[in-house]
Structures are given as structure tokens and as C-alpha cells.
Amino acid sequence: MIQYFKNVNHQTIAVDKPEDGVWVNVLPPLRQEEFSNLSEELDIPIDFLTDSLDIDERSRFEEDDNVRLIVIKTPTENNSFNESDAYYITIPICIILTHNQIVTVNSFENPAIKKFLNSFQNRHPDKKNMMVLKIIEKIVQNFLEYLKQINQQRNILEQKLYDSSRNEHLLQMMRIQKSLVYFVTALRSNELLLMKLERSSFLSLNEDEKEYLNDLIVDNSQAQEMANIYTNILSSTLDAFASIIANNQNEVLKRLAVITIVLSFPVLIASIFGMNVPSGFEHSPYAFYIVVFVSLLISLAIGWLFLRKKIF
């Protein structure tokens, strides 16, 4: 699906064709026929339009026949039905600067583009560089928002794990950990892209735009640092819970071993006096009570010994 938006008197208006100064937004479902027609109509290399279909596409920029392409990673919720997949993943978004238009291509529903659309009435389509920076700003904001949500989820799950160590809670923690791995990798790649844009003349930024880009680099670095911190905290938490679970298992096994030892002596005595051989108590009316008393006495003695040694 292809959308065309124009800013008229600070109002966002949808149009039917890619006029000059129009923002072209390509959304799923994506069809090869639409890509081919858009490529011919706007004189865009077809590869620039299809690069967003590769979810593993790295952050980069390139230029071909005065058409500039910027590929940057953006976060989104994972709609996979697999319970072991990450809650959030990162996907590439292509920003294409043509002679007269700015084109964005998304392979998934993109919250950053939705935010940009809500503020498009405040943009100036003739200032393409600032529009690009504003899109990148929305992407960085999304990273920060999702990281805060991830940290809140981690705190809730950590408290649940303190109360009861259940496999489903550990699985949810692993899904959060996968999300953070995606974020750390994407933010590192985006940081390299932004730094290259700052050093190069790819966008031909003026002083105000360079200063704005520097602020975006700082915000991206903050998001990357947050992702690294949350990753380290989560890894330490999972290691700590693994040690706690192993220690609890050892305590249970130790108690079972002590109980087995304590109970084995009464069983041994009962087995000896239960044999079909003379034992001296065949005609005694107190034989049963004597055996029970001796068994209890030995069990209590062994139990007291274990308690004294702090084994039980």
C-alpha cells in the first residue's frame, strides 16, 4: 500500500499521486508491482525500495543517480505466535530522498512513522534533511519508550520469581533478554550510521541541522547505554536465580538423604526381628514394644546428631 501526504497550510492532506514536495509512505502489504511502478514513476532504483524487505538489513546509506538512501533500524512489537520469541524485534526502515519527494518504506507496521505522520503538519517538505532527522528522532524515542517498558516488565517478573520460581516466568525473562539483544545490536548499528552522517557530506547539513543530529547521537547513545545496563542486570538476575534454584535443589536432596538415613535404621531393626529365626523374644509379651522403642531411640539419636552437625 502506498500513501501520499502533502502539507498545505499546516494541515496533512492525502493526495492521489506523488507531486512535488509530497511525502510517499509505503506500508505493508507490499507488492512487487507497486514497487516497480513507484520505481519508474519517481526514478528510484528498485533495490532501494526492496531493501526494507530484508529484516536483517544493516543500517547504512548510499547514493545512486542523485537518489539517496538511508536504512536505519527501528523497534517494533513482535507479532509472532511462538511463545519463545522476543517480545520486541528491530526492523529496517528505508528513507529515500529523490529530486522532489521523500519516500519511506516499511516492511512492518512502524510506530515511528505513525508518530511522524501525526506531526507532519508541522514539517516543511522542502527541508528534506530536517524531515529525515525528525524521522530518526521518532525512532530513537521509540527505542527509549520500549526500553522503559522492558524494564518495567523485568521488575514485575523478578518480583514474581522471588515469590515462586516458575518456568513460565523464566521463559518470559528469556524473551525479554532476546529483545534486549536485538535492541543493543540495532542501536550500535544506528550509532555508527549517525556518526558517519555527521562526518560525511551525504545530507549536506547546515549548522542547525548538524547540531540537531548531534543531539540525536546523544539520545541514541543514551538508549544504547540503557539497553546495555538492562541486559547486564537481566543476565545477573538470571544467573542469580539459577544459583538459587540449584541451591534449593541441593537442600531438598540433602533433606531427603537425611530422612532416608533416619528411616533406614528402624526398617533394619524391624527386618532383623521379623526373620523366621529364634531371637529370644518369641514368647515375650513386650517384644513389639521393645523393637519399636529401640527403633525410635536410634532414629532420634541419629536425628539429634544431624541437627548438632547442622546437616538437617
pLDDT digits over 66-109, tens only? 889 999 999 988 877 677 788 899 989 989 888 888 888 888 87
Q: What is the pLDDT of residues 116-141, one digit of tens each?
A: 777 766 666 667 888 889 889 999 99
Distance CA 309, CA 220 (A): 57
Nearest residue to 36 via CA among 28, 27, 48: 48
- Examine the pLDDT at 226 and tell me if it is beyond 90: yes
- Return the residue matching grid coordinates 512502524: 110
Nearest residue to 261 via CA among 215, 302, 217: 302
In the three-class reduction of DSSP (H, G, I as helix; E, B as strand; rest coil), residue 6 is classed as strand
Q: In what order do the strands lie in the sheet with 88-97?
A: 12-15, 2-7, 23-26, 102-106, 88-97, 67-77, 60-64
First-to-last alpha carbon distance for the chain, in angstroms, is 69
What amino acid occupies position 159? Q
Sign of CA pseudo-dihedral 237, 241, 244, 246: negative
